[in-house]
Amino acid sequence: MVKMQVEEDHYYSDDVYRCLSEVHCMSKKYGLSEKLSHEELKEGQRAPFARKYQSLALIDVLQQVRSTQKSINDVQLKKQERMLQHEAEDIISCTKIEKNLSEISSFNEYLKTILQKKQSLLTNLQRPLIENAIKLEVKYHSIFVKMLSHSANVLQSLMKNIENINWINLTKLATPNKLPEIVDYIETNLAQVNTNYHLMCQIKDRLNLLQNP
């Protein structure tokens, strides 16, 4: 809209200037411009000529106005070009276009991954949240850690104890020269069982403490 207004003013000033230029040319043709020359006129003759030929002075003023108006129009045109360039930078700047293409490509790959794993995502989202978790207050954390360490030790020796029990079951106690060795072995295993029993009792007590604080 501003550009159209500038062009209309430009065309109007061109018409006015064209008419006044014709008048100025006619004045030169008939020698009126030489009479208005300040260098050739005496000091006392300038005022009467200026009053008599004010239209010629007006032509000079209009020429200056037209030159100034042309400069203003050029500045406004450059301003409009800069504004349009700034507004359209996303579609005319190679750097901006490459950056936008890179972002779109990355987002497109992300969408492809989602579409490929759509069924898996739906299955995981529809699956109810089931966790075998123990609700434990902070003050019981240290006790629970100790209990887990004892439990790990008991489980570690469990297989060995089972093997020992199976060995005792399969061994014939009436075999000569085997009885003292077997008795010692049984005594050792009973001591281990006793130790494990006390550990299990401690674990049981701490579990009861956790359940009934």
What is the rounded average pLDDT of the residues 107-120? Answer: 80
Q: Which amino acid type is present at position 150? A: H
Q: What is the largest CA-CA distance in the chain?
A: 162
Terminal alpha carbon distance of the chain: 81
Strand (E) or helix (H) holding 113: helix 94-116
Q: What is the pLDDT of residue 46?
A: 47
Tokens standing for 75? Answer: 């500045």
pLDDT digits (tens, 9 = 90+) for 47-56: 555 555 566 6
- pLDDT tens readout for residues 162-183: 777 777 666 665 565 666 777 7
State the pTM of this model.
0.27
DSSP letters, 184-195, are HHHHHHHHHHHH
Can you give the residue ranges of every domain in the chain? 2-87, 93-119, 138-211
Q: Which residues contact 9 (CB under 8 A, 6 or more apart)?
A: 69, 73
Element (H, E) at 200: helix 179-211
Q: Can you tell me the mean pLDDT for 48-66?
A: 67
pLDDT at 58 over 80: no
Bigger pLDDT: 76 vs 28 = 76
Categorize the per-residue pLDDT at 130 as very low, low, confident or very high, splitting at 50, 70 and 90: low
List Cβ neighbours of 97 (8 Å cut-off, separation of 6 or more): 90, 91
Residue 207: both structure tokens together: 């579990």
Share of residues in the chain with pLDDT > 90 (%)? 0
Residue 42 has pLDDT above 50, yes or no: no
Q: Report the alpha-carbon distance of residue 124 to residue 181 in Å, rounded.
A: 59
